[in-house]
Each structure stands twice: as C-alpha cells, then as structure tokens.
Amino acid sequence: MMNYPRLLIAGTQSGVGKTTVTLALLSAFRAKGRRVQPFKVGPDFIDPGHHRMASGRESRNLDGWMLDQEINRTTFLRAAQDADLSIIEGMMGLFDGSSPMSDRGSAVEQAKQLGVPTLLVVDASAMARSAAAMVHGYATFDPTLQISGVLFNRIKSEGHYQLVKDAVENETKVRVVGYLRPNPELTIPDRHLGLQTAIEGKNEQFYKMLGESISETVDLDLIEQLAQSAPELKSHDESQPIHIHDRKTKKTVKIGVAYDPAFCFYYQDNLELLEAEGAEIVKFSPLVDHVLPDVDLLYLGGGYPEVYAKPLAQNAEMRQAIHRFADQGKPVYAECGGLMYLAETLRNFDGEVYDMVGVIPGETAMSRSQMTLGYRELTLTCSGILGEQGMKIRGHEFHYSRLQSKSTLNYVGQVADAQGRSCGKDGVRSGNVLALYTHLHFMSHPSVARNLVKAVRHS
C-alpha cells in the first residue's frame, strides 16, 4: 500500500477556471521542487498539452465511460508511482458525465474510485453569501463524496474574498484555501474546440507567472495537506503481468505521426501502446516539412486543419508525398482533423476552399451550426487495419465539419452514443487508408495498437 498524494480539481460547471487553477498549481508545486503528475478526466487533448508544459510530465486521461475502472486505476498508479503529488483536472461540472442519472464518466466517479480528495473551484465574481449556498449544495449532494476544500476564482479584492470566505466557513465544514484574481494576461485564448493549444504559443514564462500568481493568494501548504490526506492505494501486484505499456518489444516498424499546430490531438496512451507493440514513433509536420520521413504507416491525428488550411494547402509537396504513400498501398490511419486533411478540399467557416491531400473523395465543410459532440462506440462491420468484424472500440467525437461526397463511400463501422443510440456510419476506407471522425482511445481495446502494427507487417 502507498499513499499517492492526490487531489481532484473540480468545478461547479464548465468555464469556472478549472484549467487555470490546475495549471497554476502544477507550476507552483513544480517551482517548489515537487514532482507533480497531471491527469485529465474525460476525452480531452488540449488541457493535457498545457499540463505537460506546466508540470514537465506527460498528462494522462482518466475516463469512466471509454475505459473501465481497472484501466483507469492502472493508468493512475503507473503515472503517479514516482510523483510527490498528483493533480487531476475534472471535466465540466463535478457531477456531469455521460448520464444525467449516474456518476458514469464524471469527475466524481474518478474521485470515488481512486479515493481522491476534491478541491471545488467556484467562480465567485458575482457572489457573496450565495457562494455558501452553492458550496453547501455541492458538499451535501452526494454523502459518499467529501469535498475537502474550495478555491474561489475571479475575486477582484481582498474584501470580496473575505465576504465569501466568511460565508462558506460559517455555513459549511469545507475549508477555504484561497482565491485567484482575474488577470487577462494569464488567460488562454478560446476557440471553437476549446482553448488554444499549448503548441501554438504559450511559453514557459506564462506557466511560471500562473504559478507565481496562485502562490500569492492560495495556501499551497494547505492544498498539499489535503492531497496527502488521500487514503492509501494498493500498488501494482508484482505477481501479475506487467502493464502492456511497459513491455520491452523490439522496434520493427516506424510510424509517422503528424505533429504540429494543425495536428496535435493524440492520447499519450495510444502512442505508447503502439510503441509497446514494436513501433518507433517518428514525428513530422504537414505544415512545414516537404518530405515524409522513412516510415511504414502514417497516423494523422486531430487538431485544427481548418485554422491552418492555407499553409497546409500551400505545402503541395507534403500533400503529394502523402498521396503517393497511400497510392503505394501503405497504411494510413486518420482521426477527425486527419480525415479532413485527407479529403479533396476543405471549406472553412468563411466559405474559403483549400486543396487537401485528396485520397478521400469529397469535401469537408465547416459550419458553426453543426457541432457534433459526444462519446462514441465504434462497432466494426468489416475487418481491416483496426481489427476483426464485430470488434467494439470506444472514443468520442467533437467537430464542426461534415464530409460531403458525390461518390459512394466505403465505411468500416457503425457508431453509437453513450446511451447506445445509433449515430450512423464512421470510418471511411479507401485502399489501405482508414479515416474516422471518432477519436479512438486504444486502451478501450488494446488490440487496436497491435492490429495497426500488424497491418504494416502485412502490407
């Protein structure tokens, strides 16, 4: 048994500042010499990128719908084993998940399963005593959950902070740890899929300033005490097989992973599962590179190709190189933004059309009125590079584009949402190219990584 000091940063709702608080704490504890391990609850790529910049360590996703309890637990234990402190950023509001009737897929589910003390973030910018009513409601809604502390965000003055602090401490047993002031200089710009990504510009000084800011108005020692109050967790049983990530496998194939501001949405676990199956990951940039690296398979993840459509279109050498790679029958696997890049053209929000790679017939068109968001379970209706017919793999969708084609498209699967309702077809196949809108989490069915590596060996 080990202690694994850990803390969940949860919000009353989306937009209250969970990410700002998480990044500030990661940076502040790192500055104090702590090895601090970040996690993110839910299907998210953007926040973990910022976590990595603030902490200097890879962030891991925990998810109660895409992944089962044992996988989440193993993921936590493996990443936290050499850390002094783990900070887990929640998703949406504390109790929000895949079902309005249960904890499934929510931050509170992870808090219970991993025994994590909870720090509630409240936007108190327009509150006084009402803050006590809100904290009281969250603290008593679920008797099996203990909210250990509350942090107020967007407090403009010490006097305002004292009002909400006194109200909460008078009406509840929840400890108030401090507050953050509103500061436009310490805000990450927002866009249609969430925050601007870490790779797009925020430098180390930004995260350092966040850490310094929270150190001025928040009791970091108290927060560390709350994290250390977490109950012990049983560590890895040495008699059991080692975690799949840690297998020592000879590198026999090379996978080219598109990685730049246009394509940066990858689960770290997906990449490490591929490595565990014998793949060497070779990163390249469709934005700036003009030739492909010497690889056996291409993995084009999600991101913001619509934002970078012009430079992607202008880099004709790379588009042609990927087209030739596909024409040679070599495997190409793409998700969401990668699918958009593989289509013939991309139409952005302003109606401007740009040439893309052209191995998927049709155009992807952006529309702010056509947001697609939610958990997905992909059932393969035919065998291919992901696996055998009937295999089920979980993930999520989040996009504003639609694939429009005059040709009949060949799909490899059907998708359903978290409630099991059909969401149509997904997975366009053209030769040895497979492109989906769903972002798959390979840990939901670890044989996906093995099958992708096999596809290289059999191509």
For residue 70, the tally of other CB atoms under 10 A from its CB is 9
The confidence score (pLDDT) of residue 184 equals: 81
Looking at the fold, whether 275 and 192 belong to one and the same domain comes out as no
Within-domain flag for 235: no
Statement: residue 353 has pLDDT above 60: yes
Sign of CA dihedral 428, 430, 431, 432: negative
Measured distance CA(46)–CA(392) in Å, rounded: 26
DSSP track, 260-317 = BTTEEE--HHHHHHHHHTTEEEEEE-TTT-SS--S-SEEEE-EE-TTTTHHHHHH-HH
Say yes or no: 191 and 265 in one domain. no
pLDDT band at residue 99, thresholds of 50, 70 and 90? confident
Nearest to 253 by CA among 270, 269, 277, 272: 277
Strand partners, 414: 379, 425
SS3 172: coil
The answer to whether residues 204 and 264 belong to one domain is no
Q: Residue 244 phi/psi, 5° resolution?
A: -55, -35
Q: pLDDT grade, residue 242 (50/70/90)? A: very low
216, 323: one domain: no
Q: At what angle do helices 18-31 and 46-55 cross, to 10 degrees?
A: 20
pLDDT value of residue 21: 97
d(CA 360, CA 339) in angstroms, rounded, equals 8
Domain co-membership, 403 together with 358: yes
Q: How is the beta sheet containing 118-123 ordered, strand by strand? A: 60-62, 36-41, 85-89, 6-11, 118-123, 147-153, 175-179
Average pLDDT taken over every residue of the chain: 93
Contact 89, 113 (CB under 8 A): no
Compute the chain's Rg from CA coordinates: 23
Instruction: Output the six-digit token pair for 315.
Output: 């880099």
Strands (E), 304-359: 332-335, 343-347, 353-355
The CATH number covering residue 203 comes to 3.40.50.300
Residues labelled as active-site residues: 336
* Residue 38 counted as domain residue: yes
Is the Cβ–Cβ distance between 398 and 376 less than 8 Å? no
Pair (201, 123) in one structural domain? yes
85/27 Cα distance (integer angstroms): 12
- Please return the burial class of 203, using the count of CB atoms within 10 Å of its CB with bins 0-12, 13-18 and 19+: exposed
- Residue 434, burial from CB neighbour count under 10 angstroms (0-12, 13-18, 19+): buried
pLDDT of 238 reads 42
Q: Is the dihedral of CA 1, 222, 156, 174 positive or negative?
A: positive
Closest CA to 91 of 373, 378, 399: 373
Same domain, 302 and 405: yes
Domain end residue (candidates: 196, 228, 260): 228
| Amino acid 386: pLDDT | 96
> Is the domain of 76 the same as that of 168?
yes
Residue 347 in any domain: the answer is yes
pLDDT of 146 higher than 90: no
379 against 188, higher pLDDT = 379
> How far is residue 429's CA from residue 455's CA, in Å, rounded to a whole number?
14
Q: Residue for token digits 């904890």? A: 103
CATH number for the domain spanning 452: value is 3.40.50.880
Identify the sign of the CA torsion 193, 198, 203, 205. positive
In a domain, 276, yes or no: yes
d(CA 229, CA 15): 28
Can you state the angle between helices 107-114 and 69-80, rounded to 10 degrees?
70
Tell me how long the chain is.
Answer: 459
Same domain, 250 and 350: yes
> 21 near 151, Cβ under 8 Å?
yes
- 312 and 452 part of one domain: yes
Q: What string of DSSP letters covers 245-262?
A: GG------EEEEEE-BTT
CA geometry: angle 339, 341, 346, nearest 5 deg:
105
User: What 3-state DSSP class applies to 111?
Assistant: helix
Compute the distance between CA of residue 148 and CA of residue 133 in angstroms, rounded to an integer.
16
Give the H or E element holding residue 321.
helix 316-327
Strand order in the sheet with 401-404: 353-355, 343-347, 360-366, 401-404
Express each pLDDT in 305-347 by its tens digit: 999 999 999 999 999 999 999 999 999 999 999 999 999 999 9
- Global pTM value: 0.93
Last residue of a domain, one of 204, 228, 252: 228
Pair (316, 277) in one structural domain: yes
The domain total for the chain is 2
Last residue of a domain, one of 198, 228, 258: 228
* In the predicted structure, residue 241 carries a pLDDT above the cut 80: no
Domain that residue 316 falls in: 244-457
| 385 located within any domain | yes
Residue 237 has pLDDT above 60, yes or no: no
> 1 lies in a domain?
no
Tell whether 81 and 199 lie within a shared domain: yes
* Within a domain: 285: yes
pLDDT in tens, 408-422: 999 999 999 999 999
Residue 153 within any structural domain of the chain: yes
